[in-house]
């Protein structure tokens, strides 16, 4: 028993600080408000809420048979976790020393709020908040796998890993809380004295000449707004294309469904007939002529930019970019599944992927150079775009 106890103690001591100190904080707090007011770590409340969320979404998935519950809180959970960091600074006595960090916190939270409102509206118009709606990729994976294996993915990947990933996106925000002595100096900076009159008197312990925002914050803010605009344009283009296509296809699909009502569902997607006006079945023009998934590329870039706010505010490069790169791993896996399904439904997608990069326009340029050198570019271009234009 002593061997197991020693191993457990060693394991707990190797956990990140918020996980290691959370049990003591919970024992000394009787409510979320008390945890916020008396905990010595701004990450305790969002971590505790996330750990409570995990069994809730798992049970909801089991009871309803629908595993898209994390998708429904995807657009709001990072903002809620990040907002609790600012609330900790305002409410907790330990926040007195971080008055100079509040402006950068507010900038990042405003960017997250814009991201959240836009993505929530897009998710709502896709119908994902309807209780019987489930992401089509989960439906397809359920058909492919044995039920026990799918439930294992539901537990580990959906119910556990994804909420923890959403929580981790708030860690760069918590990293913005730095003592005055560690805040980097910058020539083009706004001093604390400029904004101190907006804050409660208890934050006046911060020296007036402490830099709170500088030119780097402006550059990152403009970059974040740009990628959000690109993501919005991409989502709108995809939504308009798919909506119009499915309106055109609904009548034919209804007739086909009536004749195949008694047939067994297929385990893998099969080719779908596409109206000529919507050939080859997916968007290939505009932003999609330069990236197969410009919305996914923008989403990943947005969280890298938010991580960079922590870099310029604390200098912790590897740690603060880790959540964004973890998100990219999830996107790469999800995109691989998405493209497998799309290729099965629309065989021309395989040719399209030889012309256009998955995420970055730079990859598209490299593909163009490679196919031009090999002399295959005109043939591939004609198969995807016919006589039309890429733009």
For 299-319, write each residue's pLDDT tens digit: 999 999 999 999 888 766 667
Determine the pLDDT at residue 119: 96
How confident is the model over 331-347, as a mean pLDDT? 94
What is the pLDDT at residue 37? 78
Record the pTM: 0.90
**Once rounded to an integer, what is the mean pLDDT over residues 228-251?**
88
Could you report the per-residue pLDDT of 319-335, keeping only the tens digit for each?
788 999 999 999 999 99
Please state the domain extents for the chain.
16-249+269-385
Answer yes or no: is pLDDT of 169 > 60. Answer: yes
Q: Strands 211-214 and 189-191: what pairing? A: antiparallel
User: What secondary structure letter does DSSP report for 201?
Assistant: G
Q: What are the backbone dihedrals phi and psi of residue 15, each rounded to the nearest 5 degrees, phi first?
A: -70, 155
Terminal Cα-to-Cα distance of the chain (whole angstroms): 69
**Residue 234, Cβ density class (10 Å: 0-12 exposed, 13-18 middle, ≥19 buried):** buried
For 122-159, the pLDDT digits (tens) are 999 999 899 889 999 999 999 999 999 999 999 999 99
At residue 267 the predicted structure's pLDDT band, cuts being 50, 70 and 90, is low
Q: Is the predicted pLDDT of residue 201 greater than 60, yes or no? A: yes
According to DSSP, the residues that pair with 191 across neighbouring strands are 211
Rounded to the nearest integer, the mean pLDDT of the chain is 86
Average pLDDT for residues 107-136, to the nearest whole number? 94
The confidence score (pLDDT) of residue 161 equals 96
CA distance 77 to 90: 20
């Amino acid at each position: 028993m002593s061997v197991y106890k020693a191993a457990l103690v060693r394991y707990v001591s190797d956990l990140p600080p918020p996980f290691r100190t959370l049990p003591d904080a919970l024992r000394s707090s009787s409510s979320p408000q008390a945890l916020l007011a008396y905990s010595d770590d701004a990450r305790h409340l969002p971590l505790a809420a996330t750990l409570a969320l995990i069994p809730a979404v798992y049970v909801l998935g089991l009871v309803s048979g629908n595993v898209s519950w994390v998708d429904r809180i995807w657009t709001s959970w990072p903002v809620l976790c990040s907002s609790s960091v600012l609330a900790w600074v305002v409410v907790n006595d330990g926040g007195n020393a971080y008055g100079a960090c509040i402006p950068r916190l507010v900038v990042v939270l405003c960017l997250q709020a814009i991201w959240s409102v836009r993505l929530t509206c897009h998710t709502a118009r896709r119908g994902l908040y309807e209780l019987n709606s489930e992401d089509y990729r989960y439906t397809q994976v359920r058909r492919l796998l044995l039920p026990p294996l799918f439930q294992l993915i539901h537990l580990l990947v959906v119910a556990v890993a994804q909420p923890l990933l959403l929580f981790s996106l708030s860690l760069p925000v918590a990293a913005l809380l730095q003592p005055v002595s560690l805040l980097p100096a910058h020539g083009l900076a706004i001093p604390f004295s400029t904004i101190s009159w907006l804050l409660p008197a208890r934050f006046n312990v911060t020296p007036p000449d402490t830099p709170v925002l500088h030119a780097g914050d402006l550059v990152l803010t403009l970059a974040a707004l740009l990628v959000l605009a690109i993501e919005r344009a991409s989502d709108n283009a995809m939504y308009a294309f798919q909506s119009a296509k499915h309106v055109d296809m609904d009548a034919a699909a209804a007739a086909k469904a009536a004749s195949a009502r008694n047939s067994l569902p297929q385990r893998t997607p099969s080719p779908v007939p596409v109206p000529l006006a919507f050939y080859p079945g997916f968007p290939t023009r505009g932003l999609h002529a330069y990236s197969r998934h410009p919305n996914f590329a923008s989403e990943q870039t947005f969280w890298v930019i938010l991580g960079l706010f922590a870099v310029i505010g604390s200098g912790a490069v590897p740690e603060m970019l880790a959540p964004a790169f973890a998100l990219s791993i999830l996107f790469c896996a999800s995109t691989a599944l998405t493209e497998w399904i799309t290729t099965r439904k629309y065989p021309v997608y395989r040719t399209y992927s030889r012309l256009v990069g998955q995420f970055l326009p730079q990859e598209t340029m490299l593909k163009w150079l490679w196919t031009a050198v090999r002399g295959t570019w005109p043939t591939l271009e004609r198969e995807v775009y016919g006589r039309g234009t890429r733009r």
